[in-house]
Amino acid sequence: MIPMPRQKPREEMPEEVRKQVDLLEHGFFPQPRQAADALGELGHASAVPHLLNALKNKSEISGVRLAALEALGKIDHHVAFRRAVEALQDPDMHLRQGAAGVIGKIDKKRAVRHLLRALHDPARSVRRDAGSALGELGDKRAVPALLRMLRGKSPSMRVIAVQSLGRIGDERARPALVKAVKDRRKGVRQLAMEWLDRFRPDKRAFPSLVRVLKNDPWYLQWRAANQLGYIQDARAVPHLIRTLQSTRNDMVKSRAVSALGNLRNVSAVPSLTKVLLGKDEDNSGLAALALMKIWRRTKDKRVEGEEASAFHLIAPHLREVEDPKVVRKAYRAALKGKITQKNARLYIKQLRAVRGSLK
């Protein structure tokens, strides 16, 4: 048992502490809660007995009791941790919920065991905040429990499970996050893809990502396109080309262009050249970079098709990062037969000299 700190006579307290203690014990709403916050910031040990009294007072509203607990955490960690553990068992659901969010801030290592127990609390809000707190602590001991939460029926709890598993970053969570990409709730799918971006690419996610790319809103499609570019699976190329041709969203289009560049497949050249010659300068620049990546992969190979042949003619003379206007103009000239092997270098050099007037 942690002994109850001895309460000092008020005349021995600093004046500001005494003032805030008076408000804590005798003030009107919202003064007691504000006073508890202020005592925590002041950090004076003489406030601890009064904060403990406020925490134990069942007649106080839960906001005051929680503020007292948070203040204790800033003054005396040993006392505060014990009281936070007790608060997780309190009949007041709101206090239990608040304690789940506070206990990890008091002692990260010792909090995990109690938060895992709180995942079985009868109140969903307490379970939710305990799951979120476990993610913030980043302790891998929480992974099995969070995986069980992800398999549950509640969408809000699955969202918390995905968020916390992503924050912890344990490889054991990867298969579950891949599976969560096809969750029936958009919020779960979106978070799963966000966190998968931080793991190494995983080809097991391919079918789910293609499904998202075809059927989901743009804010999920662009993440799916991004992932497909990283997993290096050639099966993604036709799906990305189809998205590039059908989408009206510039962000989805830009991610599809970049993904095709990462995949470096020559079959994407006709679609990328259309973007290169389009009016959108940002995506035109991305298409130029993507085409250069494909050229580096295929420069020693024989390519078929007018578009690929034209780009192979100009690519050796382009800079690593070339002005899209120069690339567009040179590409058009190559398609029309104005550029040959002999004059390509000089032609592009002249385009750079006058690029300010190019369209």
Q: Which mean pLDDT values do the consecutive 10-residue runs of the chain (359 residues) have?
A: 55 80 82 84 84 76 81 82 90 90 89 95 94 94 95 93 92 87 87 80 82 86 88 92 92 94 90 87 86 81 76 84 83 86 88 67
Contact between residue 292 and residue 262 where contact means Cβ atoms under 8 Å apart: no
Alpha helices in 76-118 (DSSP H): 77-87, 93-106, 108-118
What's phi and psi for 331, nearest 5 deg?
Answer: -65, -45
Q: What is the pLDDT of residue 1?
A: 44
- In angstroms, the CA 188 to CA 165 distance is 12
Beta strands in 38-99 (DSSP E): none
Q: What is the pLDDT of residue 291?
A: 87
Fill in the amino acid letter for 279: K
Instruction: Give the CA angle between residues 131, 134, 137 to the nearest 5°.
Output: 155
Position of tokens 């895992």?
A: 116
Q: Which domains does the chain have, with CATH numbers?
A: 11-89 (1.25.10.10), 213-263 (no CATH), 264-359 (no CATH)
Burial class of residue 227, CB neighbours in 10 A (0-12, 13-18, 19+): buried
- Which of 327-354 are b and which e, b meaning 16 or more Cβ less than 10 Å from the residue's Cβ? bbbbbebbbeeebeeeebeebbeebeee
Q: Residues 10-34: pLDDT tens digits?
A: 667 788 888 888 888 887 888 888 8
Q: Residues 36-46: pLDDT tens digits?
A: 888 888 888 88
Q: Is the pTM of this model over 0.75?
A: no
Task: Round to the nearest angstrom and report the end-to-end CA distance of the chain.
Answer: 79
Q: What is the pLDDT of residue 148?
A: 95
- In angstroms, the CA 47 to CA 203 distance is 57
Q: What are the angstrom distances between the C-alpha of 201 and each of 38, 230, 276, 316?
A: 48, 6, 28, 31
Contact between residue 241 and residue 225 where contact means Cβ atoms under 8 Å apart: no
Position of tokens 């300068």?
A: 281
The SS3 call for residue 102 is helix
Position of tokens 């295929």?
A: 298
What tokens were used for 354?
Answer: 């006058």
- In angstroms, the CA 154 to CA 109 distance is 28
